[in-house]
Chain A
Amino acid sequence: MSFTPDISVSVCGVNFKNPVIAASGIYGFGEDYTDLYPLSELGGISCKGTTLNPKDGNIPPRIAETPSGILNSVGLQNPGVDRFIEHYIPMLEKQDTVVIANIAGASVEDYEQTARKLDSTSVDMIELNISCPNVKQGGATWGVTCAGAQSVTKAVRAATKKPVIVKLTPNVTDITEIARAVEAEGADAVSLINTLLGMRIDIRTRRPVLHNNVGGLSGPAVFPVAVRMVWQVSNAVKIPVIGMGGIASAEDAIEMMMAGASAVQIGTAIFGDPYVPVKVCEGMKKFCFENNIEKISDIVGTVKPW
C-alpha cells in the first residue's frame, strides 16, 4: 500500500500545513532565515515577543552555553507593536505560513492595548508571553500565579476576536493549575514551556556569564521537563496544547505530540542547525509512512501511560 501521509494540523480552527512552528525569540520575524528556505516550509512562525513600546533589552552578554542547552536574557528587545504592524506584518502575510504574534507587557493595560492593535491586522493568532515581569507587582512574573495569568488572559480575551494562545512558564509548582485558570478565562489554547530560570558563573572572574545574572534555560536539556508538563497539562484542560522545549529532531516532535501536543514549536535547536524545522517535517512524514499513520494528528495524546 502506498500513501502520502498528511502532516497538516488544525489548532483552534487555524490550519497549519505541518505541525512545526518556529518558537518566539529565536527566529525573529523570519526574514533573516529566508536565504536558506522560504517561510512557507514552516507550519507557522511565532514572532519575536512584541511590546506596546519599543524595548532595548538587557546589557550583553545575553547568552551562555550550558550542557545540552543555553541560558538567555535578551530582555525582550523589540521594535514595538506599531513597527511590527507597519513593517513586518505586510511581509509576513505574503509568506504562506501561519503568523502568530507573541506579545508581552509590564501591565494589564500594555497587553490589552497591544492585543487591540493587533486585532485589526492579518495575524492569525496571538500568543501571550506571561513569563515577563508584572511591574506593579514588584516584578514577579505574571504566569507564576493563577491571578496574574488570569488578569492578562481576561484583558486580552476582551480586546481581540483572534484565537488567543497563553504561553505558560514552567517556573511554577503546579502548571496544571495555571493552565486551568487561563482556560476558564477564555484562552483558546496554551503553549508550553517557556524557559526555566537558571544561572552560570565564570569561576575565574566569579561573575555570572549573563550580565543579567540569571536567564532562561532552553534546548535539549529541558526536553524531558517539557514532555512531562505537556502531558500533565493536556490531561488537565480541554483546549489544544502546543508543545515546545528542547525539540531537536522529528523523534522529539513526535514524542511531544504523543504526550498531548497538537503542534510543536522549535527554538534553540535552530541555532545549531537552521534546517531543523524542515528536517522534522521530513522525519514526521517518514515516521507516518513506516507506521501506517495516515494523519499526524492521529498520534496526538496517544501515549499509553503505565
Chain B
Amino acid sequence: MSYYCGSYPIVEKKAIAADIYSYVIHCPEIAAEAKIGQFVQIKAEGYTLRRPVSICGTDKKNGTIRLVFEVRGKGTDTISRLNAGELMDIIAPLGNGFTVPAAKQGRIIVVGGGIGTPPLLDIAKLYGENCTAILGFRSFDRVILDKDYAAAGARVIVCTDDGSAGEKGNVSVPLANELAKGDVAAVYACGPIPMLKVIVEQTKKAGVFCEVSLEQRMGCGVGACVVCACTVIRDGKQQVLRVCKDGPVFNAEEVVL
C-alpha cells in the first residue's frame, strides 16, 4: 500500500447543497489503491497546512475518486474555487480504511452525521439492499448524498435535528430500532464526536461489531509528525495512536472518545 502526491485534473465539480461541493478527480494510480474510508490531503493555495477530506467514492475503471466537502473556513473556501479542468494538488490515498468483509455477512448499517456521510457511501454500494443508511443532518437544506445512497440500493433513513426533512431527532433512535431487530452484522459510523459516542455505546451494548471514522487536526497526514493523536485501549494498555495513519477508522471497542 503506497500513496502519491501530485496535481490531478478535476473532471467534474458540482455544488450539491449550500457550501457543499462534490469533485471528481482523475488520478488512476490513487484510484487503483484507494480503499473505503481512506482520505486525501488537499493543498489549499496560500495555506501552510493541507486539508484532510475523505474519499467519497472510487471508480477504479475510470481511474477517478470523488470528494465531497463543506466550506468551513478559509482553506476549504480556497479549494472550492477550483473548477473542472483545473488541477487539484493532493496526497492520497491515506489512512487505514474500514474493515469491510468482501463476502456479505448479513445486514450492515452505516450511520453518517452531516459531513460524515461521504466516506460511507462505497460501503452502501458494496452491500446494496443489505445496507441500511441512517443519515443525520441539521436541517433539510443540509441533506446530502441521500439519493446516492438510495441509488446504491441501500434503505435510507434521513433524520434532521429540526424535523424539516425525514424523522425529527438524531440518528440514535433509528439505530436503536435497527439494532433491536437482532440481524445486524456490523455498524460503520462517521460524524461529530457526541454522535459517535452514543453509537459506540449502543453497539457495545448490542454486541455488534462497529467501526468509527475520526477527525483530528493534522500536520503531515502520512504518519510522521504525531500531531493527530488519538487514544485507544489495546491489549489492556492505553496507547496514543495517529488518526492519519493508524486511523482514521478505529474499532469502537478500542477507541477512547
Contact = CB atoms under 8 A, between A and B. Distances in A.
Contacts, number: 93
Contact of B50 (A25, A26, A271): A271
A60 interface: yes
Contacts of A30: 224
Interface stretch (B96-104, B136-144, B162-170, B211-219): B211-219
B50 A77 contact: no
B197 to A, nearest CB: 16
A56 B238 CA distance: 10
A38 interface: no
B135 interface: no
B240 interface: yes
A231 interface: no
A123 interface: no
Interface in A11-31: 25-30
Contacts of B50: 271-272
B107 to A, nearest CB: 35
Interface in B194-244: 216-220, 222-230, 240
Contacts of A60: 216-217, 227-230
Contact of B227 (A29, A72, A270, A272): A72
12 contacts: A27-B224, A28-B226, A56-B240, A57-B226, A60-B216, A61-B216, A62-B227, A65-B49, A70-B48, A219-B48, A271-B48, A271-B219
Interface of A: 25-30, 32-33, 35-36, 48, 56-66, 68-70, 72, 74, 77-78, 219-220, 268, 270-275
Of all A-B residue pairs in the complex, the 9 with the closest CB atoms, nearest first, are A28-B224, A32-B224, A32-B223, A35-B2, A61-B217, A63-B227, A32-B222, A77-B226, A56-B240
Given A26-B219, A28-B224, 20 more contacts: A29-B224, A30-B224, A36-B5, A57-B240, A59-B229, A60-B230, A61-B216, A62-B227, A63-B218, A63-B227, A65-B47, A68-B48, A74-B226, A77-B229, A219-B48, A268-B48, A271-B220, A272-B49, A274-B91, A274-B220
